[in-house]
A = this chain, B = another copy of it.
């Protein structure tokens, strides 16, 4: 039956996540993290994992909910809205990668751990984002090389490392690895440079395995979902402010120019929602255009987030520009979502290639 809007169940999951996040990760905690020196928040991590986020898209036999990328993306959207901290998106991706592999042993070893959130995992693909540009070498089961822009590396125990030629390896934190924190612009998702020097690892997918491209596409969809949630947050915050804030004796939301700006912001975000769904749906259904839809969604929606984050600051005036108000957190997240996994220009160029133009 044709159905292209969220099910009751999907909406219920989003509600549950929204509630759990609000309870376990209040605004003060977010500010604390941003002003502090870590982005890993144990209470909210535990609460989200307890709700089943880690296993949402994992098969039921491994303690998962057996849902699809679409459901996971809708979950990540909620986290983008709430500026959830740390490598949650990456953690879920690592689980997805292991679940997609052929090794029952690795699945048994890691999936329950990842589903429960007891082990924190992340993805080390940074710098040259596209699989064909990855550089870390794997030889005789050991990794050597360097990866930049690894989110959550300070908290993670398990790393999904992109290897030269487009393979994937799994590496537990060990002596052969060095994690050096980068000074991150997005304080809610900090990155590190990770150096591998004869670090023991398991090869999960060989270069050229089509699953790697699938996983990369999934990552694009999830980051688009995060951007969508973040963009929606910027719109909601601005609309709420415009209704409440008075000037010249009336809510500023009555002034036509601001109204139209807010309408323009909503016009960037709301139609993008179905685009995100479509990219996730295409991935789940393995449609021929799944890769292209993922690239387009990442490019378009990351751009929308950057655009509405800027517009939100303008719509707020002075207060939006303050650190204290917190809009800056989403502004900086928009810069993260735009750059992480490759800029819109990179993915638009890929989309043009994929269209055979």
A257 partner residues in chain B, CB cutoff 8 A: 256-257, 259-260
CA distance A255 to B254 in the complex (A): 12
CA distance A156 to B294 in the complex (A): 58
Closest B residue to A263 by beta carbon equals B257
CA distance A259 to B255 in the complex (A): 12
Q: Mark A241-273, 1 if CB is under 8 A from B, else 0.
A: 000000000000001110110000000000000
Interface residues of A in 58-106 (CB under 8 A from B): none
A256 partner residues in chain B, CB cutoff 8 A: 255-257
A259 partner residues in chain B, CB cutoff 8 A: 257
Question: How many whole Å from A187's CB to the nearest CB in chain B?
Answer: 35
A260 partner residues in chain B, CB cutoff 8 A: 257
Question: How many whole Å from A144's CB to the nearest CB in chain B?
Answer: 39
CA distance A259 to B259 in the complex (A): 14
CA distance A259 to B260 in the complex (A): 12
CA distance A257 to B254 in the complex (A): 12
CA distance A260 to B260 in the complex (A): 11
A255 partner residues in chain B, CB cutoff 8 A: 256
CA distance A260 to B257 in the complex (A): 7
Closest B residue to A256 by beta carbon equals B256
Question: How many whole Å from A261's CB to the nearest CB in chain B?
Answer: 9
CA distance A260 to B261 in the complex (A): 11
Closest B residue to A260 by beta carbon equals B257
Question: How many whole Å from A208's CB to the nearest CB in chain B?
Answer: 40
CA distance A257 to B259 in the complex (A): 9
Interface residues of A in 23-66 (CB under 8 A from B): none
CA distance A140 to B256 in the complex (A): 69
CA distance A255 to B260 in the complex (A): 12
Question: How many whole Å from A265's CB to the nearest CB in chain B?
Answer: 15
Q: Mark A129-140, 1 if CB is under 8 A from B, else 0.
A: 000000000000
CA distance A260 to B259 in the complex (A): 12
CA distance A256 to B255 in the complex (A): 7
Most buried by B among A255, A256, A259: A256
CA distance A256 to B256 in the complex (A): 6
Interface residues of A in 176-225 (CB under 8 A from B): none
Interface residues of A in 271-308 (CB under 8 A from B): none
CA distance A157 to B10 in the complex (A): 76
CA distance A256 to B259 in the complex (A): 10
CA distance A260 to B255 in the complex (A): 12
CA distance A295 to B257 in the complex (A): 35
CA distance A259 to B258 in the complex (A): 13
Closest B residue to A259 by beta carbon equals B257
CA distance A255 to B257 in the complex (A): 9
Question: How many whole Å from A253's CB to the nearest CB in chain B?
Answer: 13
CA distance A259 to B257 in the complex (A): 9
Q: Mark A314-329, 1 if CB is under 8 A from B, else 0.
A: 0000000000000000
Chain A contacts to B: CB under 8 angstroms: 255-257, 259-260
A-B contact pairs, 6 of them (CB 8 A): A255-B256, A256-B256, A256-B257, A257-B257, A257-B259, A257-B260
Q: Which 6 A-B pairs have the closest CB atoms?
A: A256-B256, A256-B257, A257-B260, A257-B257, A255-B256, A257-B259
